[in-house]
Structures are given as C-alpha cells and as structure tokens.
Amino acid sequence: MIHFDNVSKIYSDDSVALDKVSFTVLPKEFVSIVGASGAGKSTLLKMLLAEERPTDGAVFYSSADVCSLSKNELNDHRRKIGTVFQDFRLLPNKTAYENIAFAMEVAGKSDEEIESDVPHVLELVDLTEKAWNFPHELSGGEKQRLAIARAIINQPEVVIADEPTGNLDPINTQEIVQILKKINDLGTTVILTTHNKGVVDSLGRRVITLDMGKVVRDDKSGKYTL
Amino acid sequence: MFMMWTDLKRILRSGFVGFWRNAFVSLASTLVMALSLFIIGALIFLGAMFDTSLTQLKDKVDINVYFLTTAPESEILDLKTQVEALPEVGLVEYVNREKALAVFRERHEDDQLILQALDELNENPLGANLNIKAKETSQYEGIAKFLDSQNALASGDGNAIIDRVNYYQNKVAIDHLNSIIDSIETLSLALVFLFIFISIAMTFNTVRLTVFTARDEISVMKLVGAENKYVRGPFVVEGALSGVISAFIALILFYPLTLWLGPSTETFFGGISIFDYYLNNFGHIFLIMLVAGIVLGGGSSYLAVRRYLKI
C-alpha cells in the first residue's frame, strides 16, 4: 500500500536526514517508527504527504509515485491520509466544530453530511461539550483529540501521527494511543512516529527503528530498543 | 453548478467570519487601506481643481485682430469665415465699430478726460475687431501667421484691412503661460502615478503582513488537502471587505474636510468649491473608491497568499 523505495534526503553534505530507506506498509497495519530526535522520522512522513521531495528514490502510495502527482491529484492524495501532529496544527480562528467541518468542506462534502458527521466524531473523541470552543480554549489532550477527530472525519485509508503524544502527560498519552488503536481496529492503517518507549512497548505492534537516517531494525511485534 | 454555489457560499462565509474573528488585524489593514484610498480620493479632488483652474486660465488667452477704421465690414466678415474654417480655431467673435466704442466707453466711464476727448471727435476713432480663441493655447502662433499672410496678400493689392494683431505683443506672456500649463500637467501626472504607487505599495505590504501571520494556518489547510481556491478565497474576501469598509471611511472623512476647505478652494482655484464638487460627483467618487478598495484589498490578498500555497 505504501512503499518507500531507496529514499534519501540530503539537505547538505553534513546534513543527511534519510539514507537509502526502504520499507513497505501493508493495509490495516499499525506501524510505529521510532528513533532519537533527528533520526529522520518526521521527514519520512512529510515525504508521504509530498510536503518534501526525496533527493533520491521514490515514495509510492497505491503504486503511484507521490512526487509525480498533479496539483489536483495531490489534493486528493492528501485527503486520503489523515494527519495528526505533535503541535496539533489546528486552525486558530475556527471552533472545534469548524476545524472538523473545514476538512469535510475541502473534501467536497455536502452541508447535510457535515451536520450529521461532525457531532458524531466529536462524541467519539469526547469533545461534544467543547464543540464551540476555540483551540486556545482547549487543553493539550483536548487539542490532540480534536486533531485526531479532524484526521479521521473523511474516513481516510491511512492515519499518520507525528509524535502525537510529545506534548502530553502520561494519562492523555494513553488516551490518544487508545484512540489510535481503535481507529486501527476499525480498519484504518496507522503510522505512528514516537520516541516514547512506554507507548511502543504497550502497543506490541510492528516497529521500525531509525538511526542517523537509516533503518536499523524492523520487527513484526517489537519493542523500543536503541 | 451546485458544487460551485456551495463553494462560493462557504468561501464567503469563511471570509466574513475570519474578518470578524481577526478583528484586530483586520482593523489595522482597513485603516491603512483607508489612508491609501484617502490619497487616491485627494488626487481626484486635486485633479478636478487643477482642471477647472487651468481651463479658466486657458480661456483667458486669446488674440485680437484690430481692423483699420476704413475696412469694409463685408471683408472683415469674409476673413472671419476664413478664420473659422481653420481646424485649430475654437471660437471667433466679431465686435463691430459701434460695439467697440460702447465697450471702450464702458471701460473708461470713470475717466471724464477721455470721454470728453472722445466726444470732441466727430467720428468713431475705433476700428472693428475679431476676438479669436484657439482650441489649444499652443496653436495661437499658427493662427497669427495665417492672419499675417492674409494681410500681406491683401496689402500687395493695396487694400489691407488689418491694423494690427495683438499676438506679437502678448507672445511672451502666452508662451510663458503655455510652458506653465504644460509643466503643471506633466507634474500632476507624475504626482498621480507616484501617489498611486505609494498607496498600492502601502496596502500590499500591510496585507502581506496579515497573511504572514496566517502562514501556518495556510499550510495546515494545504495539508488537509484543501484546493488553492479554498485557502485563498476567504483571504480575498477578507481583503475585499477591508477595501469596502475603508472606502466608506475615506468617503466619510472627505465630508467634513471638503466642507471646511470649500470656501478657501473657491477663492484659490477660482469659482469651484471642493465641497460642491464632492456633493455633485458623489456617486462617481463613491464608485471609484469602492472599486479601488475592492481591487486593492482583494488583489493584494490574492498575491500575498500565493507564496504560501506552494506546499
């Protein structure tokens, strides 16, 4: 489903983010990508969204090279992937409800669909009470739950979560992980990057370990080891 | 079709809501834009003032052809027809001998000495004259040359009728006036361009700053898979809305200002009050300001967002 083929990203001679990385993610898999800060985890995810281009190699999604997509195809591609970031990246001038509705609007959903789906997903992440609050009025955990709600509202094939628990306390962290697990159980592929040992160990799913831009381990049901 | 309408509705709503929620930033750019539109409006007023005073000035320039007292009226009228046929001539007025005398008497009604001297003469000492106005002040020399050639032709036959043409006495003054009018026109054109450029640059930079503050928002929209029109549309709506509001602000500001300046402009520019101009051309000025505001605001936003769309 997703295939990284010999991908390298070189910013300059002494700054190599990724070095000939290759791996494949199958549908409905839950993959954790772990490694120290600067190991290249975020760069990998940015390439999947075509936010950055590889210096060498190619990234394939459903056998299409994401870098050769046209503008319209790229928008479609991004709508098939739900994204959750460490810094939440919510729209500050929109309420919780509107943040989710916006993702549906850009996907061309009708007003009726928006009115029926948004309350549903808000309930799923336990934010019904906060529907009309702005992001700055929410706690860190609530913001991240809102970000997840936005990521899954269009029923994407893949959810990528870039250090989603990096800014959260242990209780909120567990909550987020449980939600991601639930999403995966419902049939969505999940790619998670993290450097939180507890999270990875509790999951017991596939773990890809990156170090200095290289894949150093790829375990079917691994633990966080460096 | 349905989709387009839905898109438009969402973009408009998002633009209006964004304008309101970002009130502080919106206010800042609206004020700068109001200032820009105020400059453009001031240029319109100044242009109108200069236009009328220049027209009046040009209107004062003319040449007079004085005829000999012996010149037969039929020949003078012939010449008048010929002069009128010249393409550069605007208006020709014939003043016959009696009228010339009446004008002379009127002009000197307080001067008993001259009137007495006039009365002692048994006949009218004044010749008829033609008052000629050209379409452009620069064309007087050509007209004077034409009159000269006519007169030379006639004097060759021994029956010249023109006594003198006053162009040559006034030539220096007319030339001077011409160069002043020319330089005022060039200068005002240069000023108009300069100030329009300044106001566009000012607006564009302010809008660029407001869009800069929203750059993270734009990148999030792009990563959620929003098409460019979805990202850009609301910003363009916000910009245009700022433009509309600032047009109203500038227009309202002009009311007390022109009211206050009205009397002094009336004396300075001769005859036209800036306040009357404001009232008489309100619709016209309103439309120019409104369109300029929408184009300035919307256009600046459109351009400013562009560089953040390349993700």
With 60 as the cut, is the pLDDT of residue B176 above it? yes
Cβ-defined contact of B224 to A79 (cutoff 8 Å): yes
Structural domain count of chain A: 1
Considering the domain boundaries, does residue A5 fall inside one? no
Provide the pLDDT confidence category of residue B236 given band limits of 50, 70 and 90. very high
Tokens of B211: 């869009």
Q: Do B157 and B100 contact (CB within 8 A), yes or no? A: no
Hey, is the C-beta of A106 within 8 angstroms of any chain B C-beta? yes
- A34: domain CATH number is 3.40.50.300
Hey, is the C-beta of A150 within 8 angstroms of any chain B C-beta? yes
| Higher local confidence (pLDDT), B300 or B50 | B300
Provide the pLDDT confidence category of residue A71 given band limits of 50, 70 and 90. confident
Provide the pLDDT confidence category of residue B199 given band limits of 50, 70 and 90. confident
With 70 as the cut, is the pLDDT of residue B155 above it? no
CB pairs under 8 A between A and B: 50
Per-residue pLDDT tens over the stretch B201-224? 988 898 888 888 888 888 888 878
Tokens of A15: 């700054």
Following DSSP, what letter does each residue of B217-268 receive, concatenated?
A: HHHHHHHTT--HHHHHHHHHHHHHHHHHHHHHHHHHHHHHHHHHHHHHHHHH
Domain of A109 in residue numbering reads as: 29-42+74-219
- Segment B95-116 mean pLDDT: 80
Q: In order of start, what are the domains of chain B with their CATH numbers? A: 2-57+178-306 (no CATH), 69-160 (3.30.70.3040)
Question: Is the complex ipTM higher than 0.95?
Answer: no
Provide the pLDDT confidence category of residue A133 given band limits of 50, 70 and 90. very high
Distance from CA of B14 to the nearest CA of A (A): 9
Q: B1 in helix, strand or coil?
A: coil
Q: Do B129 and B95 contact (CB within 8 A), yes or no? A: yes
What secondary structure letter does DSSP report for A155? -
Per-residue pLDDT tens over the stretch B52-82? 777 777 777 777 778 777 777 777 777 777 7
What is the pLDDT, as a whole number, of residue A106? Answer: 85
Tokens of B245: 């509001």
Question: pTM (2 decimals)?
Answer: 0.74
| Higher local confidence (pLDDT), B293 or B118 | B293
What is the pLDDT, as a whole number, of residue B156? Answer: 59
Per-residue pLDDT tens over the stretch A113-131? 999 999 999 998 899 999 9
Core vs surface per residue B252-282: b (16+ CB within 10 A) or e: eebeebbeebbeebeeebeebbbbebbeeee
What is the pLDDT, as a whole number, of residue B213? Answer: 84
The per-residue pLDDT of chain B, averaged, comes to 82
- Segment A77-103 mean pLDDT: 90
Considering the domain boundaries, does residue A51 fall inside one? no
Considering the domain boundaries, does residue A48 fall inside one? no
Instruction: Please tell me the distance from the alpha carbon of residue A69 to that of residue A90, in angstroms, as a whole number.
Output: 26
Hey, is the C-beta of A79 within 8 angstroms of any chain B C-beta? yes
